[in-house]
Copies of this chain bind each other. A is one copy, B any other.
Amino acid sequence: MNTEFLILISGLIALFFAFMLTKGIIKSDEGNDRMKEISGYIHNGAMAFLKREYNYLSIFILIVAVVIVFFINWQTSICFISGAVLSILAGYFGMHVATKSNVRTAEAARHGQDKALQIAFSGGAVMGLCVVGLGILGLGAFYILFGDNIIYLTGFGLGASSIALFARVGGGIYTKAADVGADLVGKVEAGIPEDDPRNPAVIADNVGDNVGDVAGMGADLFESYVGSIISSLTLGTFLVSKFGNKYPNNEPVLFPILLASIGIIASVIGILFARKSKNSNPQAALNNGTYIGGIIVIISSAILSKVMFGDFKAFISIVTGLVIGMLIGKITEMFTSADYKHVKKIAEHTQSGAATTIISGLSVGMKSTMLPIIFIAFGIIISFYVMGGATNPSLGLYGISLAAVGMLSTTGLTVAVDAYGPIADNAGGIAEMSHLPASVREITDKLDSVGNTTAAIGKGFAIGSAALTALALFASYAQATKIQSIDLLKPVTLVGLLIGAMLPFLFGALTMDSVGKAANEMIDEVRRQFKEKPGIMAGKETPDYAKCVDISTAAALREMMLPGILAIVVPISIGLLLGAEALGGLIAGAVSSGVLMAILMSNSGGAWDNAKKYIEVGNYGGKGSESHKAGVVGDTVGDPLKDTSGPSMNILIKLMTIVSLVFSGVIYQYGGIILKFFQ
Given the known inter-chain contacts A384-B491, A516-B356, please indicate yes or no for A367 contacting B506, CB distance below 8 A: yes
Q: Is A331 an interface residue (CB 8 A)?
A: no
A559 → B minimal CB distance (Å) = 13
B389 touches A354 (CB 8 A): no
Interface residues of A in 380-405 (CB under 8 A from B): 380-381, 384-385, 389-391, 393, 396-397, 400
**Bound-state Cα–Cα, A466 to B447, Å:** 52
24 contacts between A and B (CB under 8 A): A349-B516, A352-B523, A358-B637, A359-B512, A359-B637, A360-B513, A362-B509, A362-B637, A363-B512, A367-B509, A370-B502, A370-B506, A374-B499, A384-B491, A385-B678, A389-B491, A396-B491, A487-B487, A487-B488, A488-B585, A488-B588, A501-B593, A592-B592, A592-B593
Given the known inter-chain contacts A488-B486, A678-B390, please indicate yes or no for A502 contacting B596, CB distance below 8 A: yes
Q: Is A584 an interface residue (CB 8 A)?
A: yes
**Bound-state Cα–Cα, A235 to B291, Å:** 57
A513 → B minimal CB distance (Å) = 5
Residue A495 contacts which of B380, B390, B595 (CB distance < 8 angstroms)?
B380
A451 → B minimal CB distance (Å) = 25
Counting from the closest, the 7 A-B pairs by CB-CB distance are A355-B636, A366-B509, A501-B592, A486-B488, A367-B509, A385-B678, A485-B487
**Bound-state Cα–Cα, A598 to B490, Å:** 24
Q: Convert A474-495 into 0s and 1s, putting 1 for each residue whose CB lies closer than 8 angstroms to a CB of B.
A: 0100100000011111111111
Q: Convert A624-659 into 0s and 1s, putting 1 for each residue whose CB lies closer than 8 angstroms to a CB of B.
A: 000000001100110010000000000000000000
- Chain B residues with CB below 8 A from A509, complex form: 362-364, 366-367
Q: Is A497 an interface residue (CB 8 A)?
A: yes
A276 → B minimal CB distance (Å) = 41
**Bound-state Cα–Cα, A373 to B501, Å:** 9
Name the residue of chain B whose CB is nearest to the CB of A388: B678
B633 touches A358 (CB 8 A): yes
> What would 4 more interface pairs be, CB under 8 Å, given A354-B354, A467-B498?
A363-B509, A366-B505, A485-B485, A592-B592
Q: Is A299 an interface residue (CB 8 A)?
A: no
**Bound-state Cα–Cα, A373 to B389, Å:** 35
**Bound-state Cα–Cα, A531 to B162, Å:** 62
Given the known inter-chain contacts A512-B359, A637-B359, A678-B390, please indicate yes or no for A596 contacting B491, CB distance below 8 A: no
B506 touches A369 (CB 8 A): yes
B486 touches A355 (CB 8 A): no
**Bound-state Cα–Cα, A443 to B397, Å:** 66
B499 touches A377 (CB 8 A): yes
Q: Is A471 an interface residue (CB 8 A)?
A: yes
Given the known inter-chain contacts A487-B486, A509-B367, please indicate yes or no for A373 contacting B499, CB distance below 8 A: yes
Looking at A184, A381, A389, A632, the one whose CB has the most chain B CB atoms below 10 A away is: A381
Residue A593 contacts which of B349, B389, B493, B593 (CB distance < 8 angstroms)?
B593
- Chain B residues with CB below 8 A from A600, complex form: 505
A348 → B minimal CB distance (Å) = 10
A539 → B minimal CB distance (Å) = 28
- Chain B residues with CB below 8 A from A390, complex form: 675, 678-679
In this complex, how many residues of chain A approach chain B with their Cβ under 8 Å: the count is: 82
- Chain B residues with CB below 8 A from A384, complex form: 491
Q: Is A674 an interface residue (CB 8 A)?
A: yes
Q: Is A325 an interface residue (CB 8 A)?
A: no
Q: Is A376 an interface residue (CB 8 A)?
A: yes
- So how many copies of this chain end up in the complex? 2
A667 → B minimal CB distance (Å) = 16
**Bound-state Cα–Cα, A486 to B364, Å:** 32
- Chain B residues with CB below 8 A from A400, complex form: 491
- Chain B residues with CB below 8 A from A585, complex form: 488
B478 touches A489 (CB 8 A): yes
- Chain B residues with CB below 8 A from A475, complex form: 489
B592 touches A497 (CB 8 A): yes
**Bound-state Cα–Cα, A359 to B486, Å:** 36
- Chain B residues with CB below 8 A from A506, complex form: 366-367, 369-370
Q: Is A91 an interface residue (CB 8 A)?
A: no
Q: Convert A519-549 into 0s and 1s, putting 1 for each residue whose CB lies closer than 8 angstroms to a CB of B.
A: 0100100000000000000000000000000
A266 → B minimal CB distance (Å) = 28
B505 touches A369 (CB 8 A): yes
- Chain B residues with CB below 8 A from A373, complex form: 498-499, 501-502
Q: Is A11 an interface residue (CB 8 A)?
A: no
- Chain B residues with CB below 8 A from A358, complex form: 358, 633, 637
Given the known inter-chain contacts A355-B633, A637-B355, please indicate yes or no for A377 contacting B516, CB distance below 8 A: no
A495 touches B377 (CB 8 A): yes
Looking at A376, A385, A390, A491, the one whose CB has the most chain B CB atoms below 10 A away is: A491
Q: Is A353 an interface residue (CB 8 A)?
A: yes
Name the residue of chain B whose CB is nearest to the CB of A391: B679
Interface residues of A in 590-615 (CB under 8 A from B): 592-593, 595-596, 600
B584 touches A488 (CB 8 A): yes
- Chain B residues with CB below 8 A from A374, complex form: 499
Q: Is A589 an interface residue (CB 8 A)?
A: yes
Q: Is A508 an interface residue (CB 8 A)?
A: yes
- Chain B residues with CB below 8 A from A385, complex form: 678
A381 touches B505 (CB 8 A): no
B495 touches A381 (CB 8 A): yes
Looking at A396, A513, A600, the one whose CB has the most chain B CB atoms below 10 A away is: A513
A122 → B minimal CB distance (Å) = 37
- Chain B residues with CB below 8 A from A391, complex form: 679
Name the residue of chain B whose CB is nearest to the CB of A593: B593
- Chain B residues with CB below 8 A from A369, complex form: 502, 505-506
**Bound-state Cα–Cα, A358 to B640, Å:** 12
Name the residue of chain B whose CB is nearest to the CB of A503: B370
